[in-house]
Structure 1
Amino acid sequence: MGELELVVAVRGGRSVAAHQYHRGALRILRPHYLDDSGQVCYVMVNPGGAYLGADLYVIDVEVGDGAKLLLTTQSATKIYRTPGSFAEQRMTLRLGEGAQLELAPDQLIAYREASYRQNTHITVRPTSSLVMAEVVTPGWSPDGASFRYEELRLRNEINVETPAGTTMLALDNLLIRPPLNDVTGMGFMEGFSHLGSLVVVDARVDQALADEFHALTAGHDAYTGVSLTACVGGTTGLVLRSLSNSTEELNRLLGTCTALLRERWYGQSPLNLRKY
């Protein structure tokens, strides 16, 4: 079990923590800055090492007006056996006007007999900018078989808050329930074992960007689709979903797309957390 709260605001030209709180098996490491953009990087840590049955982790993050946050994890999120009940993570993200949030966790690994639910509730303003990347992979099994986990439910609800009220921009609901006979062909992950997702919410998202992403991903060993949401308050969302048999390949693919956004929108270099 664990709780984590983080509020980031602008102070003296840099983004800093205005509020921090943690309880149970969640921690956050000291802030660091990867460049001179003022964007602060925080690393979430689970000292317990994994999520177990009936575990509940609640994460609440607010990025204030004009603030910039890169939030990542120290290592992969591991879901072990969950007999009796599923493990769950509930995350709330709120972005102010002109706020920038990059969510770049290490991969989610579901092991044998694991059941996991991840609910992320996101509220942005018309001038907010959100980039979320995630990779899901099956964990090692003693008999060498894939997809020994029971179920993964990943739900993202994205809302846009305007002076006229709050309107839902997108509901991205993903259910992965492997067949009992371990079939991984057509109809289930199209024969692939790993899943990569990229969610982008920004007023600069358009069909041209979706087409550019599609062209960028063509050179990778993965099966990829890109779709756009409706436009709310001038804000549009983009969802990229990619299937592969390699965590490294999906990380390269998602990294290529996020590098384009970092350079074009923020004037920042490609993200390489492993060098820091």
Structure 2
Amino acid sequence: MTYTGYLQLEVGKKHNRSVISNSYFDGVFKITRPTYLPDGLPLLTLIHVGGGYVDGDRYKTEVKIGDGAKFALTTQASTKVYKCLKHGVSQEMDYFLGNESELFLKQDSLILYKDADFRQYTNIYMKSSSVFYYTEIVTPGWSADGLLFQYKKLAMKMKVYVDGRLEIFDHQLLKPCNQLENIMQLEGYSHIGTLFIIHQEVNDELLQELRHTLKDIADVRVGISELNVKGLVIRILACGTPVIETIFSKCEKILHDKLYKTEQINWRKN
């Protein structure tokens, strides 16, 4: 099958260091050379050289993290999805985590312009001893008349398998024709932020500290829930990307202080 953009990565552990053991990219996907952070974590940036996602595009990402290895992946810029009159855009991302491995994913905002139709399928296959961290932001794109929610549909499905068993199934389905501004939908907010962390050291004390830290932030709605496995999910409703990014940064600082006793990851793109 031919993809508009294809990325395959393998990360292993060699001489007590995490290294990119294999990489392949094709189409509009490119990658930077990894930057090694002070704790030895390799950080890599995914680049889309096509300018945006258009009708009929198909994307595939596959990342394998070997036993004991760790890896961080981010994007260079926001993902822009433009008008889709026929086929829509689809993206599939598969991540495989070995024993005691760690994967950190931070995606820039997904921007849906008028008549955009976007489907994303994220599958994580991990061990109970591994760590998975993931953030995403969904936002409506600019329009000449200033109206929000002019895209057709957003469907994002995430499945997390732990030790071969499906433990988490998260499905975000947004269809502006269903009047997203109404009660029990977005209720006046326009941006959605999501943070997942699966880690054996997540506990109720950590949840309570996160709730206390985020409870007084103005003009947002924040929900924090435990997962079926050792982990939590944070969902944010806001009216802008910067406020969600600020909340993510606050959460990352707490998570790294409590779970790793280290500084949070520096995701800055130079």
TM (normalized to structure 1)? Answer: 0.92
Answer yes or no: is the 8 Å Cα contact 1:184–1:191 preserved in 2: yes
1:247 maps to which of 235, 241, 252: 241
Alignment of 1:56-205 (within 5 A): 56-161=58-163, 166-179=164-177, 184-205=181-202
Answer yes or no: is the 8 Å Cα contact 1:170–1:237 preserved in 2: no
Distance 1:219 1:129 in 2: 29
The residue identity in structure 1 corresponding to 2:22 is H
Gap change, CA 1:107 and 1:99, over 3 Å in 2: same
Residue 210 (structure 2) aligns with: 213
Task: Report SS of the residue matched to 2:228.
Answer: strand
The residue identity in structure 2 corresponding to 1:18 is S
Distance 2:198 2:24 in 1: 27
Residue 55 (structure 1) aligns with: 57
The residue identity in structure 1 corresponding to 2:15 is G
Residue 13 (structure 1) aligns with: 16
| Count of matched residue positions in the alignment of Structure 1 and Structure 2 | 266
Distance 1:126 1:185 in 2: 39
Moved over 6 A (4+): none
Distance 1:52 1:89 in 2: 12
Distance 1:268 1:147 in 2: 40
Answer yes or no: is the 8 Å Cα contact 1:15–1:40 preserved in 2: yes
Deviations along 1:63-117, one digit per CA (max 9) or x if unpaired, are 1111111100010011111110110110001111111111011111111110101
Shift of 1:186: 2.1
Distance 1:40 1:271 in 2: 11
Shift of 1:275: 6.4
The residue identity in structure 2 corresponding to 1:259 is K
Tell me if 1:224 matches 2:222.
Answer: yes
The residue identity in structure 2 corresponding to 1:216 is T
Deviations along 1:214-256, one digit per CA (max 9) or x if unpaired, are 222213231011112223xxxx231111100010000010111
Residue 32 (structure 2) aligns with: 29
The residue identity in structure 1 corresponding to 2:194 is S
Task: Report SS of the residue matched to 1:30.
Answer: coil
Distance 1:268 1:136 in 2: 29
Shift of 1:55: 0.7
Shift of 1:183: 6.0
Answer yes or no: is the 8 Å Cα contact 1:6–1:19 preserved in 2: yes
Residue 258 (structure 1) aligns with: 252
Shift of 1:124: 1.0
- Work out the percentage of aligned pairs sharing the same amino acid: 33
Task: Report SS of the residue matched to 1:5.
Answer: strand
Answer yes or no: is the 8 Å Cα contact 2:210–2:254 preserved in 1: no
Answer yes or no: is the 8 Å Cα contact 1:169–1:237 preserved in 2: no
Task: Report SS of the residue matched to 1:184.
Answer: coil
Distance 2:144 2:95 in 1: 37
Unaligned runs of 5+ in 2: none
Moved more, 258-267 or 112-121: 258-267
Distance 1:217 1:151 in 2: 30
Distance 1:267 1:92 in 2: 29
Shift of 1:156: 0.7
